[in-house]
Amino acid sequence: MRGARPLSDVTLNHEAIHTAQMKEMLYVFFYMWYFIEWVIRLFMGGDAYRNISFEKEAYDNQKDMYYLTKRERFNFLNYY
Ligand SMILES: [Zn+2]
């Protein structure tokens, strides 16, 4: 999730991956988890935003336009 970028297929795919994650997390839990993980990673050093598991999954797979067709549910759990 990061605005003010030119919309490209990659960006749209990135956001579509987040949408799939949100549905799995029933939206409210996505935002709670996202925020909590971000706070924890702030204390761990590095780029907290970029290291959130939701973001890692999205960034790692955003160039794969077929990713969502083959993605397994809760796959972000593999990005911790
Ligand atoms: Zn994102």
Domain boundaries, the chain: 21-63
Q: Which long-range contacts (CB under 8 A, 24 or more apart) does 18-27 make?
A: 18/54, 18/58, 20/68, 20/71, 21/54, 21/57, 21/58, 21/76, 24/73, 24/74
- Structure confidence by residue, pLDDT tens digits, 31-56: 999 999 999 999 999 999 999 999 99
The rounded Å distance from CA 6 to ligand 1 centre is: 14
**What is the reported pLDDT for 43?**
96
Percent of the residues in the chain that have a pLDDT greater than 90, as a whole number = 89
Q: How far is the CA of 2 from the centre of ligand 1 (A)?
A: 6
pLDDT score for 25: 97
Between the CA of 22 and the centroid of ligand 1 the distance, in Å, is 12
Q: Measured in angstroms, how far is the CA atom of residue 14 from the centroid of ligand 1?
A: 6
> Is the pLDDT at 74 greater than 90, yes or no?
yes
pLDDT for 7 beyond 90: no
